[in-house]
């Protein structure tokens, strides 16, 4: 039985690998739509990048709904310093022929989820959580109607990647994240502690390139460019392939051996810790658990899954 899936995203190459891997696993996933939000780059570029990647894969049948162009209450912060001006720097893909689907992404999310039986639609959230918070505001029953939301974001003990305390996706729209974490939805959080273990490496990218397809060649270049920032920042071979962890968790939960249901809150007030995910790993607060937090990953199993699936497209 396939899992109905919405991927909410701000496409850099990591994000695109996520929804392309879903398309390469049709026996597991029915990708209902890609919904875009401003984050890594502004909304017009995240939407264009989603369309480019789907067109490259020959899957223009997948609708792309554009969503929020800014966070709920704050000015937009972007990350061109990591992803390049377009968010897809590293390979010059042609502008897409396909256009975004008609409609606003949060409204499309509500329609897609609520028109299906309860507990049958999963969202992979790879970006600031603005679209999802707006969808929940439009339909208060959405949180309990979803099967689950798998979120790439936050950090436990790894520290932040945009401030000492905060990971980028949560930092860009902490108010949206706070709403999602208090919504009552079934949440899984994959923080930097986990994703920083899941690195591309030069050898793994060569394995992808060796698949010999146009898509593999394109993503070899996109990911090689995209991971230069982390290579220089951390001194690593390659960089973390963050976002597809959400999808591979659904495919291979055995690759994530150290998860725990705990309480997660999001800081929205302090300027020093704005966007921090306060993860009560040892349950010292007595607050009820609201998320499953994944801390470790079998990086080789993860990357092999990604490479093998992308090689099918």
Query: Tens-of-pLDDT digits for all 313 residues of the chain?
Result: 899 999 999 999 999 999 999 999 999 999 999 999 999 999 999 999 999 999 999 999 999 999 999 999 999 999 998 888 899 998 889 999 999 999 999 999 999 999 999 999 999 999 999 999 999 999 999 999 999 999 999 999 999 999 999 999 999 999 999 999 999 999 999 999 999 999 999 999 999 999 999 999 999 999 998 888 888 888 888 899 999 999 999 999 999 998 999 999 999 999 999 999 999 999 999 999 999 999 999 999 999 999 999 999 9
Q: Model-level pTM?
A: 0.96
Distance CA 162, CA 175 (A): 17
Question: If you classify domain 3-310 with CATH, what class do you get?
Answer: alpha beta
Cα distances from 267 to residues 94, 167, 278, in angstroms, run 40, 12, 7
Which pLDDT does position 228 carry in this prediction? 85
Nearest-5° Cα angle at 127, 93 to 2: 85
Distance CA 250, CA 228 (A): 28
273-308: b (≥16 Cβ within 10 Å) or e? bbbbbbbbeeeeeeeeebbbbbbebbbeebbebbbe
Which pLDDT does position 22 carry in this prediction? 98
Question: Which of these, 122, 92, 106, 101, lies nearest to 3 by C-alpha position?
Answer: 122
CB 22 within 8 A of CB 34: no
Distance CA 64, CA 98 (A): 9
Catalytic positions are: 242
């Amino acid at each position: 039985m396939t899992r109905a899936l919405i991927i909410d995203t701000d496409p850099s190459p990591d994000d695109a690998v996520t929804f392309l891997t879903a398309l390469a696993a049709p026996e597991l996933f029915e990708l209902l739509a890609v919904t875009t939000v401003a984050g890594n780059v502004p909304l017009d570029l995240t939407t264009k990048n989603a369309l480019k990647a789907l067109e490259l894969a020959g899957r223009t049948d997948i609708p792309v709904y554009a969503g929020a162009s800014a966070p709920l209450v704050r000015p937009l912060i972007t990350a061109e310093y990591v992803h390049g001006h377009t968010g897809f720097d590293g390979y010059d893909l042609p502008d897409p022929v396909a256009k975004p689907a008609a409609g606003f992404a949060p409204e499309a999310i509500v329609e897609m989820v609520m028109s299906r039986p309860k507990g049958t639609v999963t969202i992979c959230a790879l970006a600031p959580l603005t679209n999802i918070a707006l969808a929940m505001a439009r339909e208060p029953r959405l949180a309990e109607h979803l099967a689950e939301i798998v979120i790439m974001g936050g950090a436990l003990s790894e520290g932040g990647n945009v401030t000492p305390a905060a990971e980028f996706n949560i930092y860009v729209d902490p108010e949206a994240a706070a709403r999602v974490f208090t919504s009552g939805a079934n949440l899984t959080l994959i923080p930097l502690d986990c994703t920083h273990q899941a690195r591309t490496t030069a050898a793994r990218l060569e394995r992808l390139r060796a698949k010999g397809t146009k898509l593999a060649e394109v993503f070899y270049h996109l990911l090689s460019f995209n991971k230069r920032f982390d290579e220089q920042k951390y001194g690593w071979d390659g960089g973390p392939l963050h976002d597809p962890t959400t999808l591979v968790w659904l495919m291979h939960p055995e690759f994530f051996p150290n998860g725990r249901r705990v309480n997660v809150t999001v800081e929205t007030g302090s300027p020093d810790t704005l966007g921090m995910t306060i993860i009560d790993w040892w349950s010292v607060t007595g607050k009820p658990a609201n998320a499953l937090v994944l801390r470790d990953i079998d990086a080789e199993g993860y990357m092999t899954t990604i490479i093998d699936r992308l090689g099918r497209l």
